[in-house]
Amino acid sequence: MQEWHKIGQEIIDWIKEYAVENNILSLIIGVSGGIDSSVTSTLCAKTELRTIVLNMPINQERKQNELANKHIKWLKENWSNVESYGVDLTNTYEEFISNQSKEYEFSELVLANTRSRLRMTTLYAIAGINNGIVVGTGNKVEDFGIGFFTKYGDGGVDISPIADLYKSEVYALAKSMSITEEIQQAAPTDGLWDDGRTDEDQIGATYDELEWAMKEIEKRSDSKYSTRQKEVMEIYLKMNKNNAHKMKPVPIFKRENIN
């Protein structure tokens, strides 16, 4: 536990140092009620810098919305530098979809990504009027393993405090900071689907399994795998390949041999 208190403080200092060096006055975070955004927003609150948290429901499941509001309430009770806004984007989303659907039929994935990008736009609007930066909530497995995020949605951020932490490490950090137990126990979900599907439902593997696969590849293991381990490795490698474009810089044409 002491180790995670130390790591948490290092992240807090890192956020604060970045903000001071770049004349940033506020930290803007979207709070979903999930473990990643709860940990990230708590780290930001602990910097003592102005921290603005937003709950941005779009046809949200009641439970997810309640967890987000419960965490925001906890933050404000414990840190006076925390402000909050509830921005219900449901009407904006429905209006956009109803107008476009007259010409196009959107897939479920397109609709989910549209929700994420509407939230990103909202976060940057709030950041823009408060001399702030948008703080990312992605972890290592999502951001650098399987690319499990929306390009220019929840992937559109200015800094990423927990992107070098595996999901299990995010949970360890959450425990060290006494994040609400209900949030720690909730099934991870991006909250972008009408049917409330979890991350595991979408991916086909747990974060523990994905973390195992990522570590196996990093250490170039030649171990023999069980049937399930082979399945998980296939899932990991497929997502890593298909989402590689999200995890690499935008390709830029380079002028060469042009007079």
Q: Report pLDDT digits (tens) over 190-200.
A: 989 988 899 99
Distance CA 42, CA 181 (A): 14
* Tokens at 91, concatenated: 């009407």
Helix intervals (H) in 46-161: 62-78, 90-100, 108-128, 140
Q: Report pLDDT digits (tens) over 70-86.
A: 999 999 999 999 999 99
CATH numbers and ranges of domains, the chain: 2-247 (3.40.50.620)
Q: Report pLDDT digits (tens) over 82-113.
A: 999 999 999 999 998 887 656 678 889 999 99
Distance CA 181, CA 259 (A): 63
Is the overall model pTM greater than 0.85, yes or no? yes
220 or 166, greater pLDDT: 166
Residue 167 has pLDDT above 70, yes or no: yes
Residue 216 has pLDDT above 70, yes or no: yes
Distance CA 98, CA 165 (A): 39
* Tokens at 144, concatenated: 């650098």
Per-residue pLDDT, 219: 82
